[in-house]
Amino acid sequence: MSTFQAPKGTYDLLPPDSATYLAVREAIAAPLRNSGYGYVETPGFENVELFARGVGESTDIVTKEMYAFETKGGDKLALRPEGTASVLRAALEGNLHKAGNLPVKLWYSGSYYRYERPQKGRYRHFSQVGAEAIGAEDPALDAELIILADQAYRSLGLKEFRILLNSLGDKECRPVYRAALQEFLRGLDLDEETRRRIDINPLRVLDDKRADVQKQLVGAPMLADYLCDACKAYHEQVRELLTAAGVGYEDDPKLVRGLDYYTRTTFEFVHDGLGSQSAVGGGGRYDGLSEMIGGPALPSVGWALGVDRTVLALEAEGITLDLPAATTVFAVPLGEEARRVLFAKVTELRRAGVAADFSYGGKGLKGAMKNANRSGARFTVVAGERDLAEGVVQLKDMESGEQEAVAVDEVVAVVKSKLV
């Protein structure tokens, strides 16, 4: 065992479990690639101010959870705690919004970092797949992203998740609601830190998970009662599009999410099998974020789905993904000449698109076959001096146990014919 261990609140992905994480990422990304979303990758760290302005200075993410540091050159940077601000920054810096083809539709995958109290489903290092549609205000975009996330989860076999939906209004109607909510909150018995939030962003108080706070919030004014006609009409169109697509959802008037940049549509995917960490993903519209970070007005919408949480949801439903075998053919050479011949055949199989591996280290037949079994190989190819003298190898089907002699030059063709 090494002297060192993974930092607290982080984890290593190792085979065979890592194959499930890769499959989840692929399942989430697949419908995005089929819907016009291009891949974007951003640095693992950014200027601290990008997140302070975008995510919100009053959020727990910025005030308590962000890994911030100063470089030797004096730059103040932070490990990225979320993806949207970075992706929007990259799109603006790359002038993607000036290409004249709005919205700019992007998807991404990567690791994110928050200094949180580690527990199952909540880590200090976590993996997400996200999508952003930048530069268009259209209820169909909001609905599209929710539908694509729903499609991704269902392609994995998940059934026991729910979609929570709300509207947070816009710059026209939110200030009126904000004033009403502040007046209500100031009459409650709240601690000093929560009272500070009342002045900075009172909606964040609604997201407080403490039971004593939630108890006092009974009777708080609801944002839905303050939405302007434009926001009401916009939200109703999103709801109608989801219903027409056969995607079920639940209206949740208290859903505000944990980031300050959201406007209008906000949504969350929750799975009740995960306990207190029930959110597996979520997102919403962020029409003012571009201006917050110094860009032009670019109404946008997006989401991020947690790979870690999705894997836990699969476990909660007892779903085992049908993963392709890492190895289809395992070659076992018996002797130096067989090593030369079978190594060439393994290379040929790989070039033909067949997953193949080789018995390294000069193991005997018994040890090599144990490795073949561990690899999950469908076939083994075994050859010794007598086989090669006859111009053949022994091809064994590891499922049926059947074995046949196959001409050396025909190994690749025979294997491929059996995989059809």
Q: Please state the residue numbers annotated as binding site for L-histidine.
A: 82-84, 114, 128, 132, 257, 261-262
β-pairing verdict for 76-79 and 45-47: antiparallel
Q: Quick check: 354 and 327 in contact, CB under 8 A? A: no
**Residue (of 317, 367, 314, 360) closest to 339 by Cα position:** 360
The token duo for 43 is: 């640095």
Q: SS3 for 304?
A: strand
Q: Which residues contact 169 (CB under 8 A, 6 or more apart)?
A: 177, 223, 226, 227, 228, 231, 263, 264
Exposure letters 174-200 (e unless 16+ CB within 10 A, then b): beebbebbeebbeeeebeeebeebbee
Residue type, position 405, single letter:
A
Longest C-alpha distance within the chain, in Å? 93
CB atoms within 10 A of CB 367: 13
Tokens 């970070």 identify what position?
A: 293
Residue 415 structure tokens: 């294997």
Angle between helices 307-316 and 17-33 (to 10 degrees): 110
Distance of alpha carbon 255 from alpha carbon 235, whole angstroms: 14
- Which helix (H) or strand (E) segment holds residue 339: the answer is helix 336-351
